[in-house]
A and B are shown apart, each in its own frame.
Chain A
Amino acid sequence: MARYLILAAALFVCAFAAGGTFRPAYPGISEIRPFSSSGGEDAAFLGLGLRKLGADINFIRLLQYYGSDEEPLSSSGGTPDVPPSGGFGYGGGVYSEFLPRLKHITSLDPYFKYAFLYGAGVLAFNLERPEDALAVLEEARRSMPDEWQFGKYMAAIGYKNAREPEKVADVLDSIVTQPGTPVMLKQQAAFLNKRIGRLKRAYEIYSDIAASSVEKNYVDNARRNMRALEKYAK
């Protein structure tokens, strides 16, 4: 028995020296920003090594939350409702849980680029909360300093605050050509181009949405706009 113990101890020491002190580049369990009472669920995801799946599932919940009816004004402390600016009648309103839910997701997976882009887009362009959107993008830049889209996105929000729709459209144009851009942003870029009279470009972006998105609402809206803008296509 003694020789096996000695052998095991030697092997344990070597194993520890090889990889025992490794720590992944992700926040630990104590650094996760829980949403509501998600602490137990977060611990389960992390304990089973399913951090990214946890972020994905919470992202689906965020989509469902944002897709549900907005809160009545009384529950949001009488904050005046904001008219939708997405261009086709939904997306605006008061969604007080949107930011805490987004922060929860991005603390689970701080490299979830789509969640950052989508969340900042909703906050800036649909919910009229540009300060929150900028804070989200600042956090994204800390996690992914090499991703240039976040800087561009911040510039677009700045131009939006300065009420310069042409410049917003220019900046968004450089973002929406990249793969993996949220369809909501493409929708915003197309709408802005249409509003400032760049109808050919608007048609092109709507065509891209119709061809690449799997979300029925966006595709239907894109097709409707394509029909209206058909004569400007060439």
Chain B
Amino acid sequence: MNGAFSACYVIALQSFREQWKNRFFQLVAAFAVIALYFGLILREMAGDQQARVYAHFGLGLCELVGVASAIYLCSTAVIRDMETKNIYLLLSRPVPRWSYVAGKFLGLTASVMSAIACMGLAHAAFMLLRHYAVPSYFPAALVASCLKAAVIGALAMFVSLFSTSILSSVVMSFIFWTLGHFLSEARFIAHKLGGVSGAVLAPLLYAVPNISLFGVTDALDSSIPSFAGWPVLFGYCVLYCGACLALSTGLFSRKEF
């Protein structure tokens, strides 16, 4: 069992390093330039609300880039390894399938989280340079974005293992992500539909991640606190990712290499 965990760790580390060598530094640099540029525009447009607009813009951009990266990287992880034949080298050794799936996911998620952290730091630095007060919920919002990226990344990895192409996998994951913000409405519609459609739709919606749970900016930047609490957020993230990884391992173990 120790060997399986150490294989998982090695795969995660390798995956993390690979991402930083490939494209993540470029992505972070691009973010820094975009944030600086938009900051200059917003300065002229937002009147007395420059700090608020700039904070929300930066946090939104961090999250979008992070989640989009998580979807893309996790959707292409296994396929890329198959194309480069790395997977044959790996699985010719006594590496359990779950170690490979979990290692890949952890490595990719760690690289996405580190990118979000770098972007957040750059954004905070720009805010301080412009003498804007960094909002108190800023670090919490970044952590929540990381958790959101992990949840959607796990889902994307699962979807990529049964979808027919990278594009369909990315599109499906994106749909689940946006649907995750409207879950209560979607459940209401399913309930109202009734009949066969409602009966089919309702249980499916229980498997869609409740992304609004991670809307920490909304929850903390309001007069009525609606924050679910960190234990709930972390617990939900771990359980949901675990469920997706279990399904991914199940599908992956049926593949023959």
| A and B are partners in one complex rather than unrelated chains | yes
Interface residues on A, range: 35 or more
Other-chain residue from B46, B211, B243 in contact with A60 (beta carbon distance below 8 A):
B46
B182 in the interface (beta carbon within 8 A): yes
B191 in the interface (beta carbon within 8 A): no
The answer to whether residues A29 and B185 also contact, given A16-B206, A22-B212, A24-B215 and a CB cut-off of 8 A, is yes
The answer to whether residues A26 and B218 also contact, given A19-B236, A182-B48 and a CB cut-off of 8 A, is yes
A196 in the interface (beta carbon within 8 A): no
Nearest to B231 among chain A residues (CB) is: A18
Nearest to A28 among chain B residues (CB) is: B185
Q: Which of B225-253 contact A (CB under 8 A)?
A: 225-226, 228, 232-233, 235-236, 239-240, 242-244, 246-247, 249-251, 253
Seed contacts A11-B240, A52-B221; 12 additional CB < 8 Å A-B pairs: A5-B250, A8-B247, A8-B250, A24-B218, A24-B219, A29-B185, A49-B211, A59-B53, A60-B45, A64-B45, A143-B224, A144-B223
| A19 and B185 contacting across the interface, CB-CB below 8 Å | no
Name the prevailing secondary structure of the A interface residues: helix
| B57 and A53 contacting across the interface, CB-CB below 8 Å | yes
Could you show 26 A-B contacts with beta carbons less than 8 Å apart? A1-B251, A1-B253, A4-B247, A7-B243, A16-B206, A18-B239, A22-B212, A22-B232, A23-B184, A24-B226, A25-B226, A28-B185, A29-B185, A49-B63, A49-B181, A52-B56, A53-B57, A56-B49, A59-B53, A64-B45, A111-B223, A114-B48, A143-B223, A144-B223, A144-B224, A214-B43
Query: Shortest distance in angstroms between B230's beta carbon and chain A's nearest beta carbon?
Result: 11
Task: Report chain A residues within 8 Å CB of B60.
Answer: 48-50, 53
Task: Report how far A133 CA is from B162 CA in the complex, Å.
Answer: 56
Query: Shortest distance in angstroms between A112's beta carbon and chain B's nearest beta carbon?
Result: 9
Task: Report chain B residues within 8 Å CB of A50.
Answer: 56, 60, 64
Task: Report how far A59 CA is from B46 CA in the complex, Å.
Answer: 8
Chain B 44-76: CB-based contact to A (< 8 A → 1; otherwise 0):
011111101100110010011000000000000
| B247 and A215 contacting across the interface, CB-CB below 8 Å | no
| B243 and A12 contacting across the interface, CB-CB below 8 Å | yes
| A1 and B226 contacting across the interface, CB-CB below 8 Å | no
A47 in the interface (beta carbon within 8 A): yes
Task: Report how far A144 CA is from B43 CA in the complex, Å.
Answer: 28
A82 in the interface (beta carbon within 8 A): no
Task: Report how far A23 CA is from B219 CA in the complex, Å.
Answer: 10
Other-chain residue from B47, B64, B254 in contact with A1 (beta carbon distance below 8 A):
B254
Q: Using CB atoms and an 8 Å cutoff, list the residues of chain B in contact with chain A.
A: 43, 45-50, 52-53, 56-57, 60, 63-64, 148, 178, 181-185, 206-207, 210-215, 217-219, 221-226, 228, 232-233, 235-236, 239-240, 242-244, 246-247, 249-251, 253-254
A135 in the interface (beta carbon within 8 A): no
Task: Report chain A residues within 8 Å CB of B52.
Answer: 56, 114
| A29 and B182 contacting across the interface, CB-CB below 8 Å | yes
A46 in the interface (beta carbon within 8 A): yes
Task: Report chain B residues within 8 Å CB of A8.
Answer: 243-244, 246-247, 250
Chain A 15-37: CB-based contact to B (< 8 A → 1; otherwise 0):
11011111111101110000000
